[in-house]
Amino acid sequence: MISNRNTALLLRFCLILAGTAFGFFLLQKGLIYTSFFLFFIMFLLILELFSAIRSMFLFYDKTIHAILNNDFAADFSKYASYDNYKVLFRLYDNLKAKQNEQVSKDLVYRSILNNIETGVLILQKEENTWNIFLMNDYFSKHFQVPKVSKWHYLKNQLPSLCTIIEERNFEEIKTSLQISVDKQAAQTFILQASKTKTYDTEYYIILLDSIQKVIEKKEKEAWINLMKVISHELMNSITPIRSLTQNLNEVMRQETLSKEDLEDIRQSVTTILHRSDHLQNFVESYRKLAMLPTPNKEYIELNLLVESTLQVMEPLFKKEKITVKNIIESNRRITADKFQMEQVLINLLTNSLYALEERTEKNIEIASEERNNRIFITISDSGSGIDPAIEEKIFLPFFTTRKEGAGIGLTLSKNIIEAHGGYLSFSSENGKTSFTICLL
């Protein structure tokens, strides 16, 4: 095998030129038959040269077609010794490696999408129509839809989903909708959809989550956090009680008791009683949370309710030199349980009071406004704000940053407001912390 085809082609070409020239020389000498025979040999060499050049171009053409069609299954090892193909082979191998890497990534991404418990549907725009680029296994199985490739096929299967997307003109959506599967009762799903573009191709990504699944996940997280707090509180009391009980058991086994022993017994019993009281208070606090009565709603003058609460808190505000500003309109009314709402206001004002302990400027402001047929009551203070590290924990039962705190004030307040059909939220920015009560 010739190691350098370019050199071989050049030699052939030179040989043909030399042979042709020699043929004309023989023809001039009158050696007609010899010259014609030599011309015939040169003709055969020209045909062979043409075939070699054609073969080379066909090889380039075949390789380029393979690259354009993403066909990297060909084996060119038998041409490895051809120096003039080295750059072509390097290009082919590089593109093959990138193709294999992309295929591997696609397999991993599809495997991830097929193993999540969220319905994923990705559409790809081709001219003026949308086709299905990807449908994960959860979507197909949960909604009992075959993995079709055309949008109108999917619309025949899930008209409730496709109609709302078409009505929004395939724009960004975040809403809830009900979907009935196989003539069963309709289930509620959270729909999130967004559009993205890569190069000249548009994609539309649709995510569907069962509301029940989202609720169950949140409930599970809440229970785990609650059990952590309860376990922590119980162990903080049970561990010293058990240790002191073992110590008392050893002391009581002695035949005689000294004054020191009696003092140890007295201190141990006192500590056990103290920890037992703490456990009893803890359980009582939990009972308050678990057995919150149904609100007895009535029309209440909001300003009167706030003023009444401020009178209860007035001695504490005077002691801490806190300025409280009530800017609620006098004619604003709410429908709520008076005693429960008073408890919420006391809890939030107490929270502000402790937040202002180490501040030189101690201000609390109570305001309200009405938006979209809802009443918003905001209690703001000039405290140090809420540490971002604990923002997700402040409404957890028994979570507190105060040594003497029970950790149920904000939790109880949140439960009361939710029992009224509203919600309690907070914000902390620019050295100002605000808790907002929203009521219907």
What is the CATH number for 389?
A: 3.30.565.10
> Do 119 and 190 have their domain in common?
yes
Does 105 fall in a domain? no
Q: What's residue 149's pLDDT?
A: 87
For 114, 121, 363, the CA distances from 100, given in Å and listed in that order, are: 21, 25, 65
pTM of the model: 0.43
Q: What's residue 128's pLDDT?
A: 82
Q: Assess whether pLDDT exceeds 60 at residue 185.
A: no
Cα dihedral 90, 92, 97, 102 sign: positive
> Do 251 and 195 have their domain in common?
no
Does 309 fall in a domain? yes
Q: If pLDDT is split at 50, 70 and 90, which confidence band does 398 have?
A: low
Q: What's residue 1's pLDDT?
A: 40
User: Looking at the 3D structure of the chain, how many domains does it have?
Assistant: 4
Strands 363-371, 323-326: pairing is parallel
Does 98 fall in a domain? no
Q: Assess whether pLDDT exceeds 60 at residue 266.
A: yes
Q: Assess whether pLDDT exceeds 60 at residue 405.
A: no
Looking at every residue in the chain, the average pLDDT score rounds to: 78
Average pLDDT (223-247) is 70
Does 121 fall in a domain? yes
Q: Which of 235, 188, 252 lies closest to 214 in space, CA to CA?
A: 188
Q: Which residue has the higher pLDDT, 4 or 415?
A: 415
> Do 275 and 323 have their domain in common?
no
Question: Residue type for 83, please?
Answer: D
> Do 264 and 279 have their domain in common?
yes
Q: Mind listing the pLDDT tens digit for each residue in 294-304?
A: 788 898 888 88
The residue out of 290, 325, 353 marking a domain boundary is 290
Which structural domain, as residue segments, surrounds residue 280?
214-290
Average pLDDT (329-334) is 81
Q: If pLDDT is split at 50, 70 and 90, which confidence band does 433 have?
A: confident
125, 201 contact by CB (below 8 A) = yes
> Do 357 and 412 have their domain in common?
yes
> Do 308 and 260 have their domain in common?
no
Alpha helices in 326-403 (DSSP H): 338-355
Q: What's residue 215's pLDDT?
A: 59
Q: Which residue has the higher pLDDT, 79 or 69?
A: 69
Q: If pLDDT is split at 50, 70 and 90, which confidence band does 288 have?
A: low
Q: Return d(Cα 264, Cα 170) in angstroms, integer.
A: 77
**Share of residues in the chain with pLDDT > 70 (%):** 78
The residue out of 290, 323, 344 marking a domain boundary is 290
Q: If pLDDT is split at 50, 70 and 90, which confidence band does 3 have?
A: very low
Q: Which residue has the higher pLDDT, 73 or 357?
A: 357
Average pLDDT (193-208) is 87
79, 1 contact by CB (below 8 A) = no
> Do 188 and 267 have their domain in common?
no
Q: Assess whether pLDDT exceeds 80 at residue 324.
A: yes
Average pLDDT (117-135) is 88
> Do 419 and 345 have their domain in common?
yes
Q: Return d(Cα 193, Cα 305) in angstroms, integer.
A: 45
Q: Mind listing the pLDDT tens digit for each residue in 95-112?
A: 777 877 877 888 888 888
> Do 432 and 322 have their domain in common?
yes
Q: What does the DSSP assignment read for 250-303? A: HHHTSSS--HHHHHHHHHHHHHHHHHHHHHHHHHHHHHHHHTPPPP--EEEEHH
Q: What does the DSSP assignment read for 311-340? A: HHHHHHHHHTT-EEEE---TT-EEEE-HHH
The residue out of 267, 290, 313 marking a domain boundary is 290
Does 99 fall in a domain? no
> Do 45 and 122 have their domain in common?
no
> Do 326 and 432 have their domain in common?
yes
Does 252 fall in a domain? yes
